[in-house]
Amino acid sequence: MIQKHVSWMGALVCACTLLLGACGGNSPSAASKAHIYTVGTNAEFAPLESLGAGGQVEGFDIDLLNAMARTGGFQVVYQDKPWESLFPGLNNGDFDFLASAITITDERRQSMDFSDPYFEISQVVLLPKGQTASSLNDLKSMKRIGVVTGNTGDLAMQQLLGPTSQQIARFESLPLVLKEIENGGVDAVVSDSAVVDNYIRLNGQVHFNVVTLPDFPVEQYGFAVRKGDTATLDMLNAALKQVRDSGEYASIYDLYFARKP
């Protein structure tokens, strides 16, 4: 009985040793376990990021980052937060990085790092069919220019015409201002190229001409990373390059925008 008991204990110890070896920190399964990153976003900028019917975060930025995570072997968890809380949250360690259509600027580079640019955007001018414009001076002579309140187009027209100019007609959404130009209520509309492209994709034939003016600077979006976090930055850049090189970036782009990148 004693010998059997010893044999049984030996077998148990051996089995435990094998189990610990399979679950140890140096085992293949532990090494391949994906790191989970907390990503801050403000899901109020369709089609880049918005909330779906079920409350989940979705959009171009999200699909792109999900593809990068699959390619790069990491995982992401999104937190939808107010815009003004994103940058403090990044610096405080609440987020590992940010994905929220964030324009790369020299001022922001002083307090955070950015991935390689993943998207370019500019303001475009929408005019009635058959009409065109070649510079911002053409807009100065127009009676009413429609913009979405608080968007970059609104800020651009404030810089051009003055913040209290009666020439600026503000609307709460892009569909409202586009309906206004279709009805002849405004002479032109200035809005975000990505948002306009998405509207065209969803609505098919439109009743205006889209013009890109050289006066509007090109903006580049990047994923914002805590200052000095080179490991996360290198991981994102490598995954972004792989998604671009594989053609998956272009496929995701085509799901959201009418014009090619």
Which of the residue ranges 14-28, 129-143, 225-239 would you say has the lowest mean pLDDT?
Answer: 14-28
- The token duo for 135 is 């510079």
Decide whether 35-120+219-256 matches 123-211 in CATH topology: yes
Helices (H), 73-228: 83-92, 106-109, 136-140, 152-161, 174-182, 193-203
Task: Quick: pLDDT tens for 90-114.
Answer: 999 999 999 998 888 888 899 999 9
Domain ranges of the chain: 35-120+219-256, 123-211
CATH code given to domain 123-211 = 3.40.190.10
Residue 115 pLDDT more than 50? Answer: yes
d(CA 39, CA 252): 20
50 secondary structure, DSSP code: E
d(CA 255, CA 18): 49
d(CA 139, CA 162): 13
pLDDT higher for 29 or 205? 205
Q: How many residues does the structure list for the chain?
A: 261
CATH of the domain spanning 35-120+219-256, picked from 3.30.870.10, 3.40.190.10, 3.30.70.580, 3.40.30.10:
3.40.190.10
